């Protein structure tokens, strides 16, 4: 009996190691198999011209009130003192257009239908944690849109490109309604994460420049999407934020803990085509250090004004100062030291993609408030200058 038990243990160990080898070697293929739709792409009917006049087409917008997820604000942990530098004071009026990341994971369609219960539940959680640092804004607008499903970013199939294009057209319509709803002199902050940042970058290239809106954009927070300094920034017409008070610039970072294995992301990035029409290759990725507000650099955890540590439901959390440091490495990835305890959504390779903004929640809030104040100072003839 004892010998049979030992055989059972040995077989179990072999099976576990075999499973680990399979996941290690074929993890990319298995992930694609699990999330890439195996159905035909269905052309999305254009939204009605007046679609975004309906308040129901927005997760966040003026008038929603206490149910607006972007207006939620966390408290500091009970056993921590609120660090200096967190007070934002009186911030001039500005409006935020926030594009939420991918929350649709189904494989039965390439685009999420408006009203998809699970996708919209997750989207609200994302907005609660990622748009809330922009809460000093007079207005925050975050649209529903027929987002591309997760699998669209795991394949180079034509259907994936069609799904992403279809999602962008919704975002474009929402953005145009957002702009038309503002006073002409209201400063604008653009923000997004992951898929939201991809659409944001296209807005910058095709809409903001075309419509002459660049002089109204305080800053663009295109977080969680790799941007090539060499092949993307010149085509965007927007410089990287070099200083903490610079305006008219762009910020981006992608967070990894040590030991980091970003090989899958780097491989995909290298093969992708930049906005200038050439392969991004080994070009440097734009890395804004969110603890400094600068292009590159390194800062100790003491500079972190507050990490939003979520609870088990991801719908609530508290701010913990000094939780993680931040260093932009030579590749343009943001290294955050030893893995912090943030929950169960850390991706393989110690990729903290889901937590890019919550890791630096309080610093992001201070950053946008500082840039808006500098923008207002420049507009009124103060000492601050844009760009």
Domain assignment present for residue 66? The answer is: yes
Domain assignment present for residue 1? The answer is: no
pLDDT above 90: residue 3? no
Q: Which residues contact 156 (CB under 8 A, 6 or more apart)?
A: none
Q: Which residue has the tokens 């808006």?
A: 372
Mean pLDDT of 269-289: 97
Mean pLDDT of 279-303: 98
Which pLDDT does position 56 carry in this prediction? Answer: 96
Q: Which two tokens stand for residue 48?
A: 């009605």
Domain assignment present for residue 308? The answer is: yes
- Percent pLDDT > 90 in the chain is 81
Mean pLDDT of 86-91: 81
What whole-number distance in Å separates Cα of residue 61 and Cα of residue 95? Answer: 10
Count of CB atoms situated within 10 Å of the CB of 293: 24
pLDDT above 70: residue 1? no
Domain assignment present for residue 23? The answer is: no
E-assigned strand segments in the chain? 58-60, 75-76, 95-99, 139-143, 188-193, 217-223, 249-251, 255-256, 288-289, 294-295, 298-299, 307-310, 317-320, 326-328, 334-335
pLDDT band (50, 70, 90) for residue 31: low
- Percent pLDDT > 70 in the chain is 90
pLDDT digits (tens, 9 = 90+) for 330-339: 999 999 999 9
Q: Which two tokens stand for residue 365?
A: 């809030």
Q: Comparing C-alpha atoms, which of 258, 281, 268 is closest to residue 334? A: 258
pLDDT above 90: residue 275? yes
pLDDT above 80: residue 374? yes
SS3 250: strand
pLDDT digits (tens, 9 = 90+) for 233-274: 999 999 999 999 999 999 999 999 999 999 999 999 999 999
Residues 359, 218, 126, 110: what is their CA dihedral angle, to the nearest 10 degrees? -130
Number of domains composing the chain: 1
pLDDT above 50: residue 45? yes
Helices (H), 131-274: 158-181, 195-203, 233-236, 263-271
Question: What DSSP designation does 45 have?
Answer: P
Domain region containing 41: 33-379
Q: Which residue has the tokens 């607008």?
A: 141
Domain assignment present for residue 11? The answer is: no
Q: Comparing C-alpha atoms, which of 276, 325, 336 is closest to residue 299? A: 325
Domain assignment present for residue 123? The answer is: yes
What whole-number distance in Å separates Cα of residue 226 and Cα of residue 172? Answer: 21
């Amino acid at each position: 009996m004892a010998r049979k038990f030992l055989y059972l243990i040995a077989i179990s160990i072999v099976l576990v190691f075999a499973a680990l080898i399979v996941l290690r070697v074929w993890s990319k293929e298995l992930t694609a198999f699990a999330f890439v739709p195996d159905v035909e792409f269905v052309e999305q009917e254009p939204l009605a011209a007046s679609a975004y006049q309906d308040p129901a087409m927005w997760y966040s917008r003026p008038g929603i009130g206490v149910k607006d997820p972007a207006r939620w604000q966390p408290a500091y942990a009970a056993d921590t003192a609120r660090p200096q530098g967190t007070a934002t004071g009186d911030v001039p009026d500005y409006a935020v257009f926030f594009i939420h990341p991918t929350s649709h994971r189904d494989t039965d369609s390439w685009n999420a239908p408006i009203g998809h219960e699970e996708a919209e539940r997750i989207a609200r959680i994302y907005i609660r944690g990622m748009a809330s640092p922009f809460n000093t804004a007079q207005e925050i607008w975050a649209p529903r849109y027929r987002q591309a499903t997760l699998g669209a970013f795991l394949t180079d199939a034509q259907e994936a490109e069609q799904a992403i294009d279809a999602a962008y057209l919704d975002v474009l319509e929402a953005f145009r309604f957002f702009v038309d709803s503002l006073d002409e002199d209201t400063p604008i902050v653009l923000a997004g994460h992951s898929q939201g940042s991809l659409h944001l970058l296209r807005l910058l290239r095709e809409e903001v420049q075309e419509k002459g809106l660049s002089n109204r954009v305080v800053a663009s927070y295109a977080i969680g999407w790799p941007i090539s300094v060499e092949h993307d920034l010149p085509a965007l017409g927007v410089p990287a934020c070099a200083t903490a008070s610079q305006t008219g610039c762009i910020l981006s970072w992608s967070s990894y803990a040590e030991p980091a294995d970003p090989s899958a992301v780097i491989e995909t990035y290298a093969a992708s085509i930049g906005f200038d029409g050439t392969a991004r290759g080994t070009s440097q990725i734009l890395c804004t250090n969110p603890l400094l507000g600068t292009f590159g650099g390194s800062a100790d955890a003491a500079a972190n004004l507050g990490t939003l540590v979520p609870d088990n439901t991801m719908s609530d959390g508290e701010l913990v100062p000094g939780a993680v440091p931040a260093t932009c490495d030579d590749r343009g990835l943001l290294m955050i030291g030893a893995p912090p305890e943030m929950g169960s959504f850390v991706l393989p390779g110690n990729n903290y993609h889901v937590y890019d903004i919550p890791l630096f929640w309080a610093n992001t809030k201070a950053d946008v408030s500082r840039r808006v104040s500098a923008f207002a100072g420049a507009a009124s003839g103060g000492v601050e200058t844009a760009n």
